[in-house]
A and B are shown apart, each in its own frame.
Chain A
């Protein structure tokens, strides 16, 4: 479904409004889009394959471009830059349609005062694919408008004019975009022009360097943690360490008179302190004695028991052919994945300045619109009066889809009448994360006489991902009866199997679980692709051939087959163990992007060592092949970190560990020395990139270990017995 009209709705000419001739700003171009709800019968595929079109917020004008007097273009991005390279990709798209050079484009995060607010989020691997059509159309419209003004000023027919690097020439005359825009008050708004032929593009499709490279190499203050405001004070919020704690009372007497303390704020839902310095705020926070009411002391075993197939409510999300007959001769394997932390290096932080009738919030957020609405609601302000000024994100990974700290900082700022900066300690980050939920999977399969699968059934249980999230209306989750995040990657991709079924069980945990990069994909693919590998072994078939024989014939199936073949070929996939190294194979489809991986693994001192990973992926048209490679490399390493090392525990009602190290993650020494990426283009528009490569890595490693040791590892993190 996702190949069709992916954001291809034409820009409405009526909504392309222009202001001009202001100060250093030559022209402000404005456009708007309306999100079309996916129709109901497509809702199920929504979770697994939607490449969402860009979703705007309002009918009101949205600032996209400014032409500056030094002939540069300022591009206000409604999508946040969190490392995924979106700023670079959209700069390429705008530069090509505007006929300017990359160095003439400056991308900034759109403050919500521009009106250019994304009502969804930066997430789901949708930024480039969603903006592909609308952004190029807007850029092309601006180019045509500037050429028309130049034609008037130069007294030359616009058909005789050409543009290069933002300079319009014809008939022996030249004019820069800035000169063309200067003083224009009434712009002629054209119909959406035809976009350039893809072969004409100078930047799209090429590995241009990241636009934020210098800022990130020279240590510029670009992150939320680096933001400040004049006269700013520091805040801190008291947080419980036990799961399920509710606030009873606070004794603030000791903290109130501590040095540097400006005010202690006791609200119904939090206790905060504002002080002159961060250190003083932290000291005072430690001196506040809060009484919490907590649950009984939970532990990991209790959580694991809760998180078992058969508990909660079941929803069949996929079914083909006959139901599984009990008593048939089938293979069964069970898999588990643990609670995972986001562990992004930049803690959540915010600077808020609240005045009598307005608020300004500087923050690393993936949800500008939600952050804005929540702050406005708490302060009793109109949404329009709250300006969210987004910063670069020191990692997103889904962690910044929840920003209650923005509300807390705003409340503290209002209480003291000054800007307040506040951020999480690392312990708070680990204990108050919105975790990747633990999962449990039971997979059953039966081979036919030809050694191919006759029947395949996957039942799995997960904590919430999308359920009760501010991002997805509950109506959608309820309609589906399944959590659209948890089931990501849960659909069986071997649709040539005559009988298959996928059942999702929903269990609510006593602590918050949520979006973690790729959502259910990591755990679901680990389980299913491990099981498929085991069945290939049982059938005595090559793991690659076994997969290829059971994939259907739809366009997405062909693309899946192509990445499987490409990965196997590039890696010289073999089932033999050579010099103590074995290969493991796995493949997945996420958000309409198929990806296959081969992991080359050995055992060193009874530990799993990943030497090389080959990735073949088909993200459609590659706007920036280098950044797609970077995302593949990053996903491989973040994924292997999650599947080999990472695990949160619950001890005496507390989530633990609370620091890097004890929360073990992949380091330089663990990362593969070779990551070989092959990109295929099975469709002519850009698709999802930032999450799909997280799918196969877990099973690829586990399948290599199976071939090396005979051990079928079924629990994450993978540990040899």
Chain B
């Protein structure tokens, strides 16, 4: 069967044998976007976090059929080297990653949080950022999340001034 979805701003139609295939594998293997990671396959670690219509979703446990007609954003679409997302900018400034494998999932979870809670408190972060990082980068991540919130607010202020 065919499924159509918008991935990082581009409309994609994929031919899929099983509509219950997790979105993760369609993104990684069919569309060859490898930034979204497989960690556990049970929505327990968050390495596969991406956005579906702006909401953070653990794509290893999200059947692709539910993405029909929706907008999917992956780490590759969050920002790029020329135009980093404030979360990516903050991650770079705080030098957060170690092994780096879990980081796209954390950045996607953080970007989704900032859309809902532009200035999260430590408690907001504790409650919402519940992915697993084995290298133990949480300490820098927390600093980066606060920094990203500030960068995003600055960016919005600048944009509204320009308007």
Task: Show the binding face of A for B, using Cβ within 8 Å.
Answer: 82-85, 209-210, 212-223, 225-226, 259-260, 277-279, 342-347, 392-397, 423, 425-426, 626, 630, 633-638, 641, 659-661, 665-669, 671-673, 675
Nearest B residue (CB) for A397: B134
Please state if A84 and B98 are interface contacts (CB–CB under 8 Å).
yes
10 closest cross-chain pairs (CB), A and B: A219-B35, A637-B136, A394-B101, A83-B99, A216-B100, A83-B98, A219-B75, A221-B34, A671-B138, A669-B126
**Also in contact, A395 and B95, with CB within 8 A (given A426-B41, A660-B40, A660-B44):** no
Q: A225-B37, A279-B18 are in contact. Are A217 and B102 (CB under 8 A)?
A: no
Contact of A425 among B41, B127, B137 (CB under 8 A): B41
| Given contacts A218-B81, A346-B101, A630 and B138 within 8 Å (CB-CB) | no
A260 to B36, CA, bound (A): 25
Residues of chain A within 8 A (CB-CB) of B132 are 343, 345, 660, 665, 667
B44 proximity list for chain A (CB < 8 A): 426, 659-661
Residue in B34, B84, B107, B142 whose CB lies within 8 Å of A671: B142
Of chain B, the residue at the smallest CB distance from A423 is B38
Contacts of A636 in B (CB 8 A): 136, 139
Chain A CB within 8 A of B47 CB: yes
Indicate if the CB atoms of B92 and A668 lie closer than 8 Å: no
Complex: A342 Cα to B135 Cα, angstroms? 11
Query: Is the beta-carbon distance between A394 and B100 smaller than 8 angstroms?
Result: yes
Contact A345 B29 (CB under 8 A): no
Known A83-B100, A392-B99, A394-B37; contact A214-B137, beta-carbon cutoff 8 A: no
In contact, A214 and B125 (Cβ under 8 angstroms): no
In angstroms, Cα B131 to Cα A526, docked, is 28
Indicate if the CB atoms of A279 and B25 lie closer than 8 Å: yes
Known contacts A221-B34, A345-B39, A633-B140: does B130 contact A394 (CB below 8 Å)?
A: no
User: What residues of A have a CB within 8 angstroms of the CB of B36 in the complex?
Assistant: 219
Name the interface residues of B131-158: CB closer than 8 Å to any CB of A. 131-142
Residues of chain A within 8 A (CB-CB) of B135 are 83, 395, 634, 638
Name A226's contact: one of B34, B74, B79, B127 (CB within 8 Å).
B34
Interface residue B59 (Cβ < 8 Å from any Cβ of A): no
Find out whether the CB atom of A259 lies under 8 angstroms from the CB atom of B17. Answer: yes
Contacts of A214 in B (CB 8 A): 81, 92
Residue of B nearest to A425 (CB): B41
Interface readout for B89-105 with A: 1 if CB under 8 Å, 0 if not?
00110010111111110
Interface membership of B68, Cβ < 8 A: no
Verify if B112 is at the interface (C-beta below 8 Å from A): no
Instruction: Collect the chain B residues with CB atoms within 8 Å of residue A216's CB.
Output: 97, 100, 103
Given the complex, which residues of A lie within 8 Å of B74, measured CB to CB?
219
Report B30 CB to chain A, min CB distance, Å.
9
User: Could you tell me the dominant secondary structure of chain B's interface residues?
Assistant: loop
A-B CB contact pairs (8 Å), 15 listed: A83-B100, A213-B92, A223-B101, A277-B25, A344-B99, A345-B37, A426-B41, A626-B95, A630-B137, A635-B136, A636-B139, A638-B136, A665-B132, A668-B130, A675-B139
Which chain B residues have a beta carbon within 8 Å of chain A's beta carbons? 17-18, 21, 25, 29, 33-42, 44-45, 47, 74-76, 79-81, 84, 88, 91-92, 95, 97-104, 107, 122, 125-127, 129-142
Q: In the assembled complex, which residues on chain B have CB atoms less than 8 Å from the CB atom of A425?
A: 41
Closest to B42 in A: A659
B15 to chain A, nearest CB (A): 12
> What is the minimal beta-carbon distance from A610 to any residue of chain B, in angstroms?
11
Tell whether, in the assembled complex, residue B139 and residue A672 are in contact, meaning their CB atoms are under 8 Å apart. Answer: yes
- Tell me, in angstroms, the Cα distance from A397 to B136 when the chains sit together: 12
Given contacts A217-B91, A217-B92, A394-B37, contact A212 B136 (CB under 8 A): no
- A122 and B90 CA atoms in complex are apart in Å by 30
| Measured CA separation A637–B132 after assembly (Å) | 12
With A209-B92, A278-B25 as contacts: A392 and B100 at CB distance below 8 Å: yes
Residue of A210, A425, A668 with most chain B CB atoms under a 10 A cut-off? A668
Partner of A638, one of B25, B38, B92, B134: B134
CB neighbours (8 Å) of A222 from chain B are 100
Q: Max chain B CB contacts within 10 Å: which of A218, A226, A423?
A: A218
Residues of B within 8 A of A345 (CB): 37, 39, 45, 47, 99, 101-102, 132-134
Q: How far is the CA of A83 from the CA of B79 in the complex (A)?
A: 23
- Name the A residues within 8 Å of B136 (CB-CB): 633-638, 641, 666, 671
**Could you say which residues of chain A place their CB within 8 Å of the CB of B29?**
277-278
Is A634's CB under 8 angstroms from B137's CB? yes
Kindly list chain B residues whose C-beta atoms are within 8 Å of the C-beta of A630.
Answer: 95, 98, 137, 140
CB nearest neighbor in B for A259: B17
Q: Evaluate contact between B40 and A426: CB separation under 8 angstroms.
A: yes
Choose among B41, B98, B141 the residue that contacts A85 (Cβ–Cβ < 8 A).
B98
Q: Which residues of A contact B102 (CB under 8 A)?
A: 345, 394
In the assembled complex, the Cα of A637 lies from the Cα of B135 at a distance in Å of 8
A668 touches B76 (CB 8 A): no
Give Cα distance in the complex from A679 to B87, angstroms: 29
Please, how many angstroms separate the alpha-carbon atoms of A671 and B138 in the complex?
A: 6
| B62 CB → nearest A CB, Å | 14
Bound-state Cα–Cα, A660 to B35, Å: 21
Assuming the A-B contacts A666-B138, A668-B142, A673-B122, are A218 and B47 also in contact, with contact meaning beta carbons closer than 8 angstroms in the complex? no
Smallest distance from the beta carbon of A98 to chain B beta carbons, Å? 24
Contact residues in B for A217 (Cβ distance below 8 Å): 84, 88, 91-92, 97, 103, 107
Question: Given the complex of chains A and B, what is the CA–CA distance between A77 and B94 in angstroms?
Answer: 25
The docked-state distance in angstroms from the alpha carbon of A83 to that of B95 is: 12
**Closest chain B residue, CB of each to CB of A215:** B100
8 other A-B residue contacts (CB within 8 Å) besides A218-B79, A347-B39, A671-B142:
A82-B99, A218-B80, A219-B74, A219-B75, A277-B17, A630-B95, A660-B42, A668-B125
* Docked complex Cα distance between A395 and B133 (Å): 10
**Choice from A212, A343, A672, A675 contacting B100 with Cβ under 8 Å:** A212
- Whole-angstrom CA separation of A215 from B42 in the bound complex: 26
By CB atoms of chain B within 10 A, which of A219, A221, A344, A630 has the most? A219
Q: How far is the CB of A676 from chain B (nearest CB, A)?
A: 11
Contact partners of A223 in chain B: CB under 8 A: 37, 101
User: Which residues of the partner chain A approach B134 to less than 8 Å between Cβ atoms?
Assistant: 342-345, 395, 397, 638, 665
